[in-house]
Amino acid sequence: MTCTRPPRHVRRSDKVFQHNGAGTLTIRNFQVHSSGKLYRACGNCSTSYQRHVVMDGVTARSTKVLAGINTNWGDTARFSRITVYGSATICEKYKGVPKGSEPTKIGEGADGVNCLYSASDITYR
């Protein structure tokens, strides 16, 4: 699945993209403002798929987290050409759980396995 649009402004308070199915979601040339998370892989859906997100050319303002993924299910998040105004967590790692439970946050940041980016991929302003 690819989400490619001209840069636009999205204003939400929680999640902008919630990925419940399997596969890869690409978010390209996208702007987000005042959001909790830009992307979250479902951490307690009835079926536990491996999910992947690719973010390229994303600008975030007043956004807490760019991506939340479940490392125990093999999820990945790749980032390139990211601009963050202020501060944001680039990648949060969770332990996905069965439906009816709540996933546990187990870390954040680049690790070369699940959260894939380097300092040169992120510009802070």
Report if residue 50 sits inside a domain.
yes
Tell me if 53 sits within 8 A of 67, measured CB to CB.
Answer: yes
Report if residue 120 sits inside a domain.
no
Report if residue 92 sits inside a domain.
yes
Number of domains in the chain: 1
Nearest to 106 by CA among 96, 120, 116: 96
- Listed in sequence order, the residues at least 6 apart from 11 whose beta carbon sits closer than 8 Å to its beta carbon are 33, 34, 35
Report if residue 115 sits inside a domain.
no
Range of the domain at 79: 2-106
For residue 14, what pLDDT is reported?
A: 85
30 — pLDDT class (breaks 50, 70, 90): very high
Report if residue 88 sits inside a domain.
yes
pLDDT in tens, 17-27: 999 999 999 99
pLDDT in tens, 40-88: 999 999 999 999 999 999 999 999 999 999 999 999 999 999 999 999 9
CATH of the domain at 69: 2.160.20.10
Query: pTM for this structure?
Result: 0.88
Q: Across-strand partners of 3?
A: 27
d(CA 94, CA 6): 31
6 — pLDDT class (breaks 50, 70, 90): very low
